[in-house]
Structure 1
């Protein structure tokens, strides 16, 4: 999907690719930093408490993102036993919350500065990318942050989700589900995007 921009609009491709790399990195760093602060040394042991994109971006997940329009970064390893129920919830929520904060920052700059040309386009792209990441990750689908937040709020459901995620083919099943449900998922994301972009006058 994004790869088609490489020949038609190289500048837009570079802006989107950099916005994705930045936003995914901050998302995963937020998970790692929160877990570290709440007493779980696992992310630090794996070198994940860093803003170095190389530690967070997954080559296959990034390629999938460029080709299919959805992908993934490297999940941050945590030990729920070190975090407890509520700690695990906050670690799960930290990723989407970081994207919401970036989106709010970009929206504020767009409203206050009303930048033109390239800067306005960059801010709008970073805003849109972070809306997508926040909304997508909050959808309560297994392996996504939304399901882990709900799992922490409803322990019995959380145990069932954890059992499913431990299965060898859970990743493939979830990817197939996202692929088949990309229409409704896309509609949800576009609706939220429309609200936010309308609010900033974009």
Structure 2
């Protein structure tokens, strides 16, 4: 992703990646904490401090190859009154946080254009606008990607929670073919098209909502 890009574009991309990953992981930890699990809080993972969440190898892979990962937030479903329900909401929290971040960035993008168009088209303003736009696109795509129901993505944790107990505890331990499938999906490029279409549709919806709220 960073090959052939300017230093300014690389900085924008790094900011967008760090924001998207940090809010995703913090949301997992926060919702798990709300359900009674202190594990993430004890590990210092309820913070929005990027250093608490970034896996530097995952960040480098995302910048170089277009996919990566953050440090998974530790959660312990045994603290939940209903482990399956708690796991659904905890897993769903990350993508939802990404979608909210995407909308906020789109809203701020249009707000800046409306209130300070001269600044928005200046050197500093263009950089800020690029951060908003890139973060919106990347965060929304990251949220969609994580809803794919293949381990270790969040979508699998949501889907598996609807299985009978015996099957649920078996598949949540993971099997080699699941991770092979995940790697194959990444390298095949089969998911990039659908994710791009969904991301574009969501960004268009965010833009329409933001312009409506701002009277543009």
TM-score range, shorter chain: 0.7 to 0.9
Long gaps (5+) in structure 1: none
Alignment of 1:11-22 (within 5 A): 11-22=8-19
Which region of structure 1 is more displaced relative to structure 2, 27-36 or 42-51?
Answer: 42-51
Which residue, out of 135, 140, 143, partners 2:152?
143
Long gaps (5+) in structure 2: 114-119, 209-216
Shift of 1:45: 2.1
Assess, with a 3 A threshold, how the Cα gap between structure 1 residues 47 and 170 changes in structure 2: closer, same or farther. farther
1:51-83 Cα shifts (integer Å, max 9, x gaps): 121121112211211222101001111111112
Assess, with a 3 A threshold, how the Cα gap between structure 1 residues 71 and 85 changes in structure 2: closer, same or farther. same
Matched position secondary structure for 1:153? coil
- Asked if residue 32 in structure 1 is aligned to residue 29 in structure 2, the reply is yes
Could you tell me how far apart the structure 2 residues matched to 1:170 and 1:78 are?
Answer: 24
Assess, with a 3 A threshold, how the Cα gap between structure 1 residues 174 and 79 changes in structure 2: closer, same or farther. farther
Alignment of 1:91-130 (within 5 A): 91-114=90-113, 115-116=120-121, 117-130=126-139
Assess, with a 3 A threshold, how the Cα gap between structure 1 residues 197 and 44 changes in structure 2: closer, same or farther. closer
Residues paired across the two proteins, number:
194
1:22-67 Cα shifts (integer Å, max 9, x gaps): 1101110111111112100111222212112112111221121122
Could you tell me how far apart the structure 1 residues matched to 2:164 and 2:13 are?
Answer: 38
Which residue in 1 is equivalent to 2:214?
A: none
Which residue in 2 is equivalent to 1:51?
A: 48
Could you tell me how far apart the structure 1 residues matched to 2:181 and 2:56 are?
Answer: 19
Q: Is the 8 A contact 1:65 1:72 kept in 2?
A: yes
Matched position secondary structure for 2:161? helix
Q: Is the 8 A contact 1:96 1:138 kept in 2?
A: yes
Could you tell me how far apart the structure 2 residues matched to 1:155 and 1:12 are?
Answer: 48
Q: How does the TM-score come out when normalised to structure 2?
A: 0.80
Which residue in 2 is equivalent to 1:158?
A: 168
Could you tell me how far apart the structure 2 residues matched to 1:60 and 1:171 are?
Answer: 22
Bigger RCO (CA 8 Å, 6+ sep): 2
Which region of structure 1 is more displaced relative to structure 2, 123-132 or 192-201?
Answer: 192-201
- Asked if residue 189 in structure 1 is aligned to residue 195 in structure 2, the reply is yes
